[in-house]
Structure 1
Amino acid sequence: MGGLGKTTLVKKAFDDAVVKNHFQSHVWITISESFKIEVLLKGIIKQLFEEIKQPVPQGMGNMDTNSLKGTINAFLQQKRHVFPIGNCGSRVMLTTKNADLASSASKEYHGNVYNLQPLTLEESWTLFCRKTFMENSCPSHLEGLSKAILNRCQGLLLAIVAISGLLSTKDTSSVE
């Protein structure tokens, strides 16, 4: 389900200093439903070479898929990388709403699937109050309205954060 915080969670781990120090190379790729493999591979190469402040290989624009894969493989030799040939502790994290895709990728690459669940009512309420009112409670005269709004969010992290962010800018003293 969209809005659970899958990408936000993975991005937080990707950007973490301890994680970055553990791996020699880092790539963040967003793939649309209609992606082209050559564009994806060129994006990976660009990020890898930018990270070491080196120009991308000459002729990359004319490389076929196998040459692009070969360039990535050559770059990543003896590093902590995504390809399963070595045992360097590499990680790939995939976020998707598609359970079949997650299952297939997990089986093919011997990974794990973590199904995020919506927040519980208690977790939703705590988050909503912290983000909306900057504390762990809600003004009593807004409790009914707040719970009705929160009910519409259905425990979705993105919805709760978005609506509470908007509401935090409003004057709560005049609402009845």
Structure 2
Amino acid sequence: MIRRHQLGIWRYLRMLGCDESLADDLTQETLVKVICQETFSQWSDTATAAYLRRTARNLLITQHRKGGRTKTIFTADPLDEVWDRWAGRDLGGDEGIDCLRLCMQSLTDRARTALQMRFAEDASRAEIAAKLKITEHGARNLMQRAKQQLRDCVQSKLDDLRAGHEAKVKSGREGLS
């Protein structure tokens, strides 16, 4: 269970706003807490992932309260929906990242350069425009189109993966009959 879910819990906590150190601590605490529960049993990966996510979120809220922050600034339901859509219900998120890497390769060199400068190097639109020898508006439009292309590509690949997974589960159930 630890190997299967550890990275996904950590990524989920980072999405909720934890720094790396706090995400590390809460990931360990989540796994220890769940493993030490006598009443915990794994029904399925999806149920386990949801339970681990809820436990991690509750530990984060407790951490905020201990730190003197009595108000939590996020609501988990919309974040859970985003996580399920992009990372998948398995909690790991590896499939989503693999799809994103594949889809990045389908972009033009200019679009890939613009996105890498913006998100990996935190470059401004002006810096991107200068590097690509286009206007700032051109850089903005290029990145908007590239992000939409990535969104569509990743969603399509995730849908294909999920359809394949559902077909595999269905055929496995039929084999048991």
TM range (shorter): under 0.3
- Give the alignment's TM-score, normalised by structure 1: 0.22
Q: Which has the higher contact order (CA 8 A, sep 6+)?
A: 1
